[in-house]
Structure 1
Amino acid sequence: MAHILVVEDDADINRILCRYLEKVNYETTAAFSGSEAKLLLSVKTFDLILLDLMLPGINGEELVADIRKSSFIPIMIISAKSALEDKVKLLKSGADDYLVKPFEREEVLARVDALLRRSRDFADKVPGRNEISFKQLTMRPVSREVFVKGNLIGLTSHEYEILYLLLKYPERVFTKEQLYQDIWKSGYYGEDNTINVHISNIRKKIKDFDEDSYIKTVWGIGFKLDTAL
């Protein structure tokens, strides 16, 4: 069953969309601001996002840009903004579809079905995007899931992104500065403890299921995957 995040600050519209989806057996989670949606995305896995643009906190445009830094999850915009330039801008920045309010139930469901179908086909056909494996760990970038010996481990968004970088470049040593700039997208001001805490959390969550070493500390430099046999 696909799990869909509905991000819409109008409670009535949010409830209507969730009801449409649930009647055809999709699982839904409602968010009423961009900030709430970002928090949910950091702790849960979704198959698709329905997203309004004019949101309190983080707006829809900012949320799309943030999601696309690390995820290929399908995003369908549902907005009252009908100008062509708005549609083109969002589609170019990473949205997969754009539906103008008011909407019809049948069109919403047809577009949702099409996006989920394309997403499944994409995951099946694109080499390297479906799974990344290392030792007893498997990462699924499309769904942002990580398994150790078949057990799903719950990573925060930043923990996932750090691990993804290390898995993507297994021979590369990342300095704390590089990790901070790549993940937090901001200037590095000696935030050693921030990186150390996240690395420690990843190690602990992996160790719950496998005693083997996955992340190596390169003293005086940073971190890399522990590829030693």
Structure 2
Amino acid sequence: MTKILLVDDEKMITGPLVHALQQKGYAVLVAHNGRDGLHLALTENPDVVVLDILMPEMDGWEVCKTLRQKSTVPILMLTALGDEVDRILGLELGADDYLTKPFSTRELIARLRALLRRVELDQQQSQANDLLTVGSIRMELNTRRVYKGSEELQLRHKEFEMLVLLLSRPGEVITRAEFFDKVWGTDWLGDTRTLDVHMRWLREKIEVNPSKPHLLQTVRGSGYRFAATDGTTP
């Protein structure tokens, strides 16, 4: 049974959510402060963590940062209505998606299902015994390991999926719409700027000079492409 961890100090929110999620067949764990939430996330191995920001003992930022250092579990952060700083910071710290308050139970469940589908697809792909190599970048899809020359790179789930898409079609423009379709899922409802945030992270790990990318090229008005050869210019 799929296990969801809710970390939110507002019992008026967690109570109805627990009932709704259980009605959909999910097992639900609840923590009402950040410290307990982090403990449950690390010991109970949930499939998804729903994480509020403002909580006692340890806020959502610290929980997200600490959890991401130790786990790749998908994290859906709950943010204040219209607060762009919250959304961007959550993505910077490693959250996979966000949902602004107030939100409907139906939308939350849709977001959770989208995250779970991506994890399932990631697992299926990781079982394929394939190798992608373009220039100095090598990806082992079966083990989900990535190398630049002899250096192994540590990529997040979505960074890995983005790079698979780019390396599978070197020199070809991958549109923003296709990134969201293939990496985030067709029912993605979040901020489209999350793609740019993830691309910046990817460049920081792959490019010699991330501020002047040579391999991960921006195609204005369209999307991104991976240079077909080391000599390709943006």
Structure 2 length normalisation: TM-score? 0.53
CA distance in 2, matches of 1:58, 1:103: 23
Aligned to 2:83: 83
Aligned to 2:13: 13
Aligned partner of 2:143 among 128, 150, 161: 128
CA distance in 2, matches of 1:129, 1:105: 34
Unpaired runs of 5+ residues, structure 1, are: 131-141, 143-229
Measure how far apart 1:106 and its partner are.
1.4
Aligned to 2:3: 3
Measure how far apart 1:23 and its partner are.
1.1
Summarize deviations over 1:22-79 as a string: whole Å, max 9, x none.
1100100110001111221232111000110001111100001001112110000123
CA distance in 2, matches of 1:105, 1:44: 24
Measure how far apart 1:81 and its partner are.
5.0
Query: Residue 69 of structure 1: SS of its match in structure 2?
Result: helix
Aligned residues: 131
Runs of 4+ in 1 over 4 A off after TM superposition: none
Aligned to 1:105: 105
Unpaired runs of 5+ residues, structure 2, are: 127-141, 146-156, 158-234
**2:42–2:67 Cα contact (<8 Å) kept:** no
Aligned to 2:153: none
Measure how far apart 1:110 and its partner are.
0.6
Q: What amino acid sits opposite 2:143 in the alignment?
A: G
Measure how far apart 1:107 and its partner are.
0.7
Q: How does 1:121-160 map to 2 (within 5 A)?
A: 121-126=121-126, 127-129=142-144
Q: How does 1:57-206 map to 2 (within 5 A)?
A: 57-126=57-126, 127-129=142-144
Measure how far apart 1:80 and its partner are.
2.3
RMSD across aligned positions (CA): 1.8
**1:123–1:129 Cα contact (<8 Å) kept:** no
Q: What amino acid sits opposite 1:128 in the alignment?
A: T
CA distance in 2, matches of 1:35, 1:70: 15
Query: Residue 56 of structure 2: SS of its match in structure 1?
Result: coil
CA distance in 1, matches of 2:60, 2:81: 12
CA distance in 2, matches of 1:45, 1:96: 17
CA distance in 2, matches of 1:51, 1:105: 15
Measure how far apart 1:92 and its partner are.
2.0
Q: What amino acid sits opposite 1:64 in the alignment?
A: C
Aligned to 1:195: none
Query: Residue 68 of structure 1: SS of its match in structure 2?
Result: helix
**2:21–2:28 Cα contact (<8 Å) kept:** yes
Structure 1 length normalisation: TM-score? 0.54
Query: Residue 77 of structure 1: SS of its match in structure 2?
Result: strand
